[in-house]
Amino acid sequence: MVTINDNYRKLKAGYLFPEIGRRVNAFAEAHPEANIIRLGIGDVTEPLPEACRAAMIQAVEEMGSRDTFKGYGPEQGYLWLREKIAAHDFQARGCDIDASEIFISDGSKCDCGNILDIFGSNNTIAVTDPVYPVYVDTNVMAGHTGPVKDNGEYEGLIYLPISAENAFTAPIPTQKVDLIYLCFPNNPTGAVASRDHLKAWVDYALAHGSIILFDAAYEAFITDPNIPHSIYEIEGARNCAIEFRSFSKNAGFTGTRCALTVVPKSLKGKAADGSEVELHPLWNRRQSTKFNGVSYIVQKGAEAVYSEEGKAQTRALIDFYMENARIIREQLTAAGIQVYGGVNAPYVWVKTPNGLSSWDFFDKLLQVCNVVGTPGSGFGAAGEGYFRISAFNSRANVEAAMQRITEKFTA
Ligand SMILES: *Cc1c(COP(=O)(O)O)cnc(C)c1O
Taking the CA of residue 258 as reference, the ligand 1 atom at the shortest distance is 8
Provide the pLDDT confidence category of residue 8 given band limits of 50, 70 and 90: very high
pLDDT recorded at residue 411 = 67
Q: Is the pLDDT of residue 246 over 70?
A: yes
217 lines ligand 1 (CB under 6 A): yes
- Contact, 51 vs 310, CB < 8 A? yes
Residue-wise pLDDT tens digits, 332-359: 999 999 999 999 999 999 999 999 999 9
Residue 14 has pLDDT above 90, yes or no: no
Ligand 1 atom nearest to CA at 215? 11
**Ligand 1 pocket check: which of 16, 109, 128, 131 to mutate, most ligand atoms within 8 Å of Cβ?**
109
- Ligand 1 mean position to 79 CA, how many Å? 23
For the chain, domains (ranges, CATH) are 6-47+309-409 (3.90.1150.10), 52-307 (3.40.640.10)
Residues, the chain, total? 411
* Distant-in-sequence, close-in-space partners of 371: CB < 8 Å, separation ≥ 6: 36, 37, 39, 365, 401, 404, 405
Residue 15 scores a pLDDT above 80: no
Question: Cα(335) to centroid of ligand 1, in Å?
Answer: 31
Handedness of CA 380, 386, 387, 389 (dihedral sign): negative
pLDDT over 70 (residue 317): yes
Q: What mean pLDDT comes out for the span 376-384? A: 94
d(CA 59, CA 65): 10
Give, for ligand 1, the residue of 249, 260, 261, 379 to mutate: max count of ligand atoms closer than 8 Å to Cβ. Answer: 249
Residue 187 Cβ contacting ligand 1 at under 6 Å: yes
- Give the other-Cβ count within 10 Å of 393's Cβ: 25
Mean pLDDT value across residues 252-259: 98
Identify the burial level of 10 via C-beta atoms within 10 angstroms of its C-beta, where 0-12 means exposed, 13-18 middle and 19 or more buried. Answer: middle
94-135 per-position pLDDT tens digit = 999 999 999 999 999 999 999 999 999 999 999 999 999 999
CA of 248 to the centre of ligand 1 (A): 7
Distance separating alpha carbons of residues 99 and 327, to the nearest angstrom: 39
Omega before residue 130 within 30° of 0, cis: yes
CA distance 351 to 388: 9
The C-alpha angle with vertex 91 and arms to 269 and 216, in degrees rounded to 5, equals 60
Is residue 220 in contact with ligand 1, taking CB distance under 6 Å?
no
CA of residue 331 to ligand 1 center, whole Å: 27
Between the CA of 278 and the centroid of ligand 1 the distance, in Å, is: 26
Say what the pLDDT of residue 134 is.
Answer: 94
- Supply the pLDDT for residue 40: 86
pLDDT at site 18: 86
Q: What is the mean pLDDT of residues 186-192?
A: 98
Mean per-residue pLDDT for 285-309?
Answer: 98
pLDDT at 189: 98
pLDDT value at 363 more than 90: yes
- Could you give the CA distance from residue 274 to residue 65 in angstroms, rounded to a whole number? 53
- 13: confidence class by pLDDT, cuts 50, 70, 90: confident
